[in-house]
Amino acid sequence: MKTFRAPWGRTLVWVSVLVSVLLLAILLRGSFGPHGRVTLLLAGLWLVLPLSALFTIRGYTVTPEAILVHRLFWDTRLPRRGLVSATVEPRALKGSMRTCGNGGLYSFTGWYWSRKLGHFHPYVTDLNRTVVLRWEKRTVVVSPDDPEGFVRAVTG
């Protein structure tokens, strides 16, 4: 078993800080404004930060059977069986479109598409340290602290 950290890159830090501050300012202004009423929209916005935080990527562990993506309270399991390739591809998300998911509030996760990768699932915290994992019918992008060491651990 080999464990890798998931460091936050500059883009993730900036997006997370700016969106968090903006949302908190909107929420505080709306919740404690002159009318003191919490609307349904404001109540929903109060859920954005904690729900996004739940999906934060904390790290990755390579076991003989799987690659574990560590979240805040659970792990996402990616079986190593059937893995076709693992390659270091810095900035693999460049030019991609998010079809559903999170675009930088504590992580880049969900369902994305790009011409280069097709449909894929990112579990990314640093856009510059990306590793592309390919199965026959699935592509995943991760961002371990040591991309080359991660590829060696996965393919070894």
Residue type at 102 in one-letter notation: N
pLDDT digits (tens, 9 = 90+) for 72-98: 999 999 999 999 999 999 999 999 999
Total domains in the chain come to: 1
Q: What is the pLDDT of residue 24?
A: 84
Residue 107: how many CA atoms within 13 Å on its side-chain side?
Answer: 28
Name the pLDDT band for 36 (thresholds 50, 70, 90): low
Provide the domain limits for residue 10. 1-156
